[in-house]
């Protein structure tokens, strides 16, 4: 796990001064790699590569990056871990000379053999760049789910890339113009973050998950290289349970591959508990959980699992003044977000990092095996859509209009779902949600929001999915796009802020492909019983783990912490000061009248605007840091 950066000159060669900007880019990512740094400068001044190292595999100097092939014609900078690198190395030995025991060198030689098709062989999380001096071409790639971030920009004849936004902003001197249409994503439905390919700054983009980029004299091309198949197989339940159990063990054990100690996070739910079960043969495992008090349900249930498997367990507690963490999280992430759970994840990672460099999490199980409470409704709608097609769309349109007029948002969305074309349901829901956010903005900003199609990304994602079933399309979009905040962003952001690598067995590509092939009834058993969601996971651990875990209600990190109540109580003074006494309305983006009403309605209890208000608080703090150029310590709090 590391930080990578580079500057590539698209036309004429750069100066030594321009090339050296990569040094400063890496200085801004020391937290990603406190164990060392390295640089490569092309002799013809066409490219500079930089790397910050967090040593996890091959701790020796031989694992240092940037790394070259035998004749120095290829150079790589790599962030991530390839869990099957030892197996891949065996196929390359005899063809190539290895100078290290690192997974980085395996990627480099595999690229020599296979070109971009090497991505099909990699099992892990990664973002890397390979420079081919013979072709004067740079190849950048990101893992299938986007566990590792990768951003880029083209400015004044130069191509910049990095693991974070700040280094690109600093080196490129690109204008800090806010991308209002991108910003609005954090306010609509479930995004809570700005999705790929957008960023909050105009001109800076993100490489999408499962994609690679080639940059050369002909320009920039972006290619998607992986989509899971939802084609089903005729098998019985026992066969599926056997395959799931084997995959759980294999994907969990692969994530124990490390030259440093590895721990596990526990939430008291079946996701992290299943991982601990799969790794129960490992002795003296360190486990961690976070909560607000000794009596939090997740603290109590995690304690049961820790005692059952005699782990070295540590309980970490979320403090009421954690609003002060927001500037530090934004400093590392570089964008506004609506990720309240990032605060207690940040606190948890801070505690874990005092002991370890690597920890395994249960991220992704809900998206792969349909664990969210809304799964039952989605299943019901999937059934209903089979007969709703016989009703004229005009009927659903009239009912939708009536629901909108009486202010019943849930009923309105229900009729939108029935009215929409098969592959446009998610997109139409987001287009509808985006229209409702227009009142949040000032007169000058509304045109940016009104002109953008907020359903287009969802349309494209739905088209990729080779299932016509609504629940499968919906969860595929959640996995690849909507829920990136919970599956990938938070773990990388809060982990790397503390030089901590977080690994996710449920986001293994073979686990995801298995989940896609799995019949829906093996994931959501019925439209009524929420406790039977993630059916295959529950069935597999039935009788193996305590009933409190297998039959308990859904549990995840921070479930017992209420953002709504924090804003009405402990955070009220700070929220009021940040929203109304700072720069929020100087930006001429938001409507003072609407924000004031939303705040008053929330504090009085008339409505719950907690997500909106939290997003605005985060934006204000981001604005002070990235537009007004304040440091995290210069952000003021009144309580």
CATH code of the domain covering residue 206: 3.60.20.10
The whole-number pLDDT of residue 359 equals: 96
The whole-number pLDDT of residue 560 equals: 59
Dihedral, 591, 448, 602, 403 alpha carbons, nearest 10: 120
203 and 119 in one domain?
yes
Tell me which residue has tokens 């092309």: 42
Domain contains 124: yes
Domain contains 231: no
184 and 88 in one domain?
yes
CB 37, CB 74: distance < 8 Å: no
The whole-number pLDDT of residue 58 equals: 61
Catalytic residue list contains 465: no
520 and 437 in one domain?
no
Structural domains of the chain, count: 4
pLDDT tens-digit map of 52-90: 987 776 667 787 899 999 999 999 999 999 999 999 999
Give me the count of residues in the chain.
639
Domain contains 639: no
352 and 242 in one domain?
yes
SS3 of 424-484: HHHHHHHHHHHHHHHHHECHHHHHHHHHCCCCHHHHHHHHHCCCCCHHHHHHHHHHHHHCH
CA dist 206 and 162 (Å) reads: 10
For residue 164, count CB atoms less than 10 angstroms from its CB and return exposed for 0-12, middle for 13-18, buried for 19 or more.
buried
The whole-number pLDDT of residue 158 equals: 94
Domain contains 556: no
Tell me which residue has tokens 């406790």: 531
CB 486, CB 190: distance < 8 Å: no
b/e code 244-280 from CB counts within 10 Å (16+ = b)? bbebbbbbbebbbbbeeebbbbbbbbbbbbbbbbbbe
pLDDT tens-digit map of 380-437: 999 999 898 889 999 999 999 999 999 899 999 999 999 999 899 999 999 999 999 9
CA dist 155 and 435 (Å) reads: 33
Cα torsion angle, 229, 232, 233, 238, sign: positive
Tell me which residue has tokens 């939090």: 296
350 and 290 in one domain?
yes
- How many alpha carbons fall within 13 Å on the CB side of residue 299? 15
146 and 99 in one domain?
yes
535 and 454 in one domain?
no
Which stretches does DSSP call E strand in 133-190?
A: 137-142, 151-155, 158-162
CB 506, CB 251: distance < 8 Å: yes
Question: Which of 480, 498, 520 is the last residue before a domain boundary?
Answer: 480
Cα 230 to the center of its chain, rounded Å: 22
Low-confidence ranges of the chain (pLDDT < 70): 1, 57-59, 320-321, 553-561
CA dist 103 and 90 (Å) reads: 12
Which helix (H) or strand (E) segment holds residue 550: the answer is helix 547-550
Q: What angle is formed at CA 613 by the lines to CA 611 and CA 616, rounded to 5 degrees?
A: 110
Tell me which residue has tokens 């486990």: 287
Domain contains 555: no
- Owning domain of residue 594: 563-634
Beta bridge partners of 155: 158
For the chain, the distance separating the N- and C-terminal CA atoms, rounded to the nearest angstrom, is: 37
Beta bridge partners of 77: 129
The set of residues, in sequence order, having a beta carbon less than 8 Å from that of 261 and lying 6+ positions away, is 286, 355, 356, 357, 358
Question: Which of 224, 247, 282 is the last residue before a domain boundary?
Answer: 224
State the CB neighbour count (10 A cutoff) for residue 507. 27
476 and 494 in one domain?
no
535 and 469 in one domain?
no
33 and 80 in one domain?
yes
CA dist 184 and 191 (Å) reads: 10
CB 493, CB 332: distance < 8 Å: yes
Cα 489 to the center of its chain, rounded Å: 3
251 and 213 in one domain?
no
State the CB neighbour count (10 A cutoff) for residue 551. 12
Pairing of strands 262-265, 286-291: parallel
Cα torsion angle, 543, 549, 553, 555, sign: negative
CB 345, CB 362: distance < 8 Å: no
- Which is nearest to 505 in space by CA: 365, 302, 372, 369? 365
- Which is nearest to 291 in space by CA: 555, 497, 35? 555
CA dist 170 and 314 (Å) reads: 39
Domain contains 13: yes
Domain contains 229: no
Whole-prediction pTM: 0.93
211 and 78 in one domain?
yes
CA dist 270 and 288 (Å) reads: 15
- Which is nearest to 27 in space by CA: 164, 142, 157, 206? 164
The whole-number pLDDT of residue 615 equals: 96
CATH code of the domain covering residue 287: 3.40.50.620
Question: Which of 224, 250, 273 is the last residue before a domain boundary?
Answer: 224
The whole-number pLDDT of residue 556 equals: 54
State the CB neighbour count (10 A cutoff) for residue 539. 17
Domain contains 232: no
């Amino acid at each position: 796990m590391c930080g990578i950066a580079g500057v590539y000159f698209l036309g004429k060669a750069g100066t030594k001064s321009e090339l050296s900007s990569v040094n400063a880019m890496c200085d801004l990512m020391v937290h990603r790699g406190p164990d060392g740094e390295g640089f490569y400068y092309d002799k013809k001044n066409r490219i500079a590569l930089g790397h910050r190292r967090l040593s996890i595999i091959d701790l020796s100097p031989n694992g240092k990056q940037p790394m070259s092939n035998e004749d120095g014609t290829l150079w790589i900078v790599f962030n991530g871990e390839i869990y099957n690198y030892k197996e891949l190395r065996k196929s390359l030995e005899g063809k190539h000379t290895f100078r290290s025991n690192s997974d980085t060198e395996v990627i480099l030689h595999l690229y020599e053999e296979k070109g971009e098709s090497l991505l099909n062989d990699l099992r892990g999380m990664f973002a890397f760049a390979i420079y081919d001096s013979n072709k004067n071409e740079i190849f950048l790639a990101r893992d299938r789910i986007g566990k590792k971030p990768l951003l880029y920009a083209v400015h004044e004849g130069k191509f910049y890339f990095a693991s974070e936004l700040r280094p690109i902003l600093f080196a490129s001197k690109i204008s800090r113009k806010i991308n209002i249409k991108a910003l609005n994503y954090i306010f609509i439905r479930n995004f809570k973050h700005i999705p790929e390919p957008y960023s909050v700054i105009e001109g800076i983009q993100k490489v999408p998950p499962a994609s690679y980029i080639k940059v050369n004299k002909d320009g920039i091309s972006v290619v998607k290289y992986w989509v899971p198949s939802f084609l089903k197989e005729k098998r019985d339940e026992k066969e599926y349970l056997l395959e799931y159990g084997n995959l759980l063990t294999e994907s969990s054990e692969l994530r124990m591959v490390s030259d440093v100690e590895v721990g596990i996070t526990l939430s008291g739910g079946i996701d992290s508990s299943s991982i601990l079960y799969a790794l129960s043969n490992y002795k003296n495992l360190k486990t961690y959980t976070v909560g607000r008090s000794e009596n939090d349900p997740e603290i109590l249930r995690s304690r049961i699992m820790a005692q059952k498997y005699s782990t070295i367990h540590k309980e970490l507690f979320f403090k009421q003044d954690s609003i002060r963490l927001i500037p530090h999280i934004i400093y590392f992430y570089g964008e506004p977000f609506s990720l309240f759970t990032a605060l207690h994840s940040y606190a948890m990672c801070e505690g874990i990092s005092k002991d370890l460099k690597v920890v395994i999490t249960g991220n992704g199980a809900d998206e792969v095996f349909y664990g969210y409470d809304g799964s039952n409704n989605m299943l019901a709608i999937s059934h209903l859509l089979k007969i709703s097609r016989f009703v004229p769309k005009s009927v659903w349109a009239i009912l939708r209009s009536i629901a909108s007029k009486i202010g019943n948002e849930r009923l309105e969305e229900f009729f939108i779902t029935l009215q929409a074309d098969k592959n446009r349901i998610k997109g139409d829901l987001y287009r509808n949600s985006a229209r409702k956010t227009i009142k949040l903005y000032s007169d000058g900003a509304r045109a940016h929001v009104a002109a953008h199609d907020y359903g287009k990304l969802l349309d494209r994602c739905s088209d990729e999915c080779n299932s016509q079933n609504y629940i499968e399309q919906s969860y595929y979009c959640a996995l690849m796009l909507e829920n990136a905040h919970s599956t990938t962003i938070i773990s990388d952001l809060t982990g790397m802020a503390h030089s901590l690598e977080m690994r996710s067995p449920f986001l293994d590509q073979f686990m995801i492909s298995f989940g896609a092939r799995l019949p829906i009834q093996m994931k959501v058993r019925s439209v009524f019983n929420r406790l039977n969601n993630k059916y295959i996971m529950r069935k597999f651990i039935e009788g193996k783990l305590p009933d409190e875990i297998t039959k308990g209600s859904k549990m995840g990190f921070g479930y017992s912490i209420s953002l709504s109540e924090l804003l009405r109580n402990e955070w009220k003074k700070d929220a009021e000061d940040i929203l109304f006494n700072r720069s929020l309305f100087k930006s001429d983006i938001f409507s003072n009248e609407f924000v004031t009403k939303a705040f008053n309605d929330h504090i009085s209890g008339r409505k719950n605007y907690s997500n909106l208000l939290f997003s605005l608080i985060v934006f204000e703090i981001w604005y002070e840091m990235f537009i007004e150029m304040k440091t995290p310590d210069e952000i003021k709090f009144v309580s």
